[in-house]
Amino acid sequence: MTGQHRLQPPGWPKPSGYANGIVASGASIFVGGQIGWNAQGVFAEGLAAQVGQTLSNIAAVLAEAGATPAHIVRLTWFVVDVDDYVSQRGPIGRAYVAVMGKHFPVMSVIGISRLVERQALVEIEATAVLPAPNGT
């Protein structure tokens, strides 16, 4: 997380699985909404599996810029069933850690009626920042 600093106001409870805010400097990378299908367009089965595939897809796009999931400063999740998301938090968390490790950027989860690809259960956008050349 070089080049990033978490923002935690005094007295606020420590967030679980996300950050309240992050300050970062360097080159910005914006990853458009990714969904839970593989390179052949085949969807993973179930929400947790789609989350894992979606995050892997984000990691693949980041790699094209020389970045890793540790460079992510923001994730915006769009889910078609908030109740499914809440009930699947354990498996989703394991899928998340498998790709992202213990890196928890700023995140929002938004419930929506559907995604363009009807089989998609989740779409995630990412913003990442590569550290400035001087490492700040």
CATH code, residues 29-131:
3.30.1330.40
What are 124's two structure tokens?
């995630």
Assess contact for 109 and 79: CB atoms under 8 A. Answer: yes
Packing angle, helices 89-100 and 47-64, rounded to 10: 20
User: pTM of the predicted model, to two decimals?
Assistant: 0.88
CA distances in angstroms from 55 to 13, 26, 39, 96, listed in the order given = 27, 22, 13, 7
Closest Cα partner for 70 from 78, 59, 54?
59
pLDDT value of position 2: 56
Looking at residue 45, its pLDDT comes to: 96
Reading the chain (136 residues) residue by residue, the pLDDT tens digits are 457 778 888 999 888 888 878 788 889 999 999 999 999 999 999 999 999 999 999 999 999 999 999 999 999 999 999 999 999 999 999 999 999 999 999 999 999 999 999 999 999 999 999 987 765 5
Which residue is it, tokens 């595939």? Answer: 53
Predicted pLDDT at 54: 98
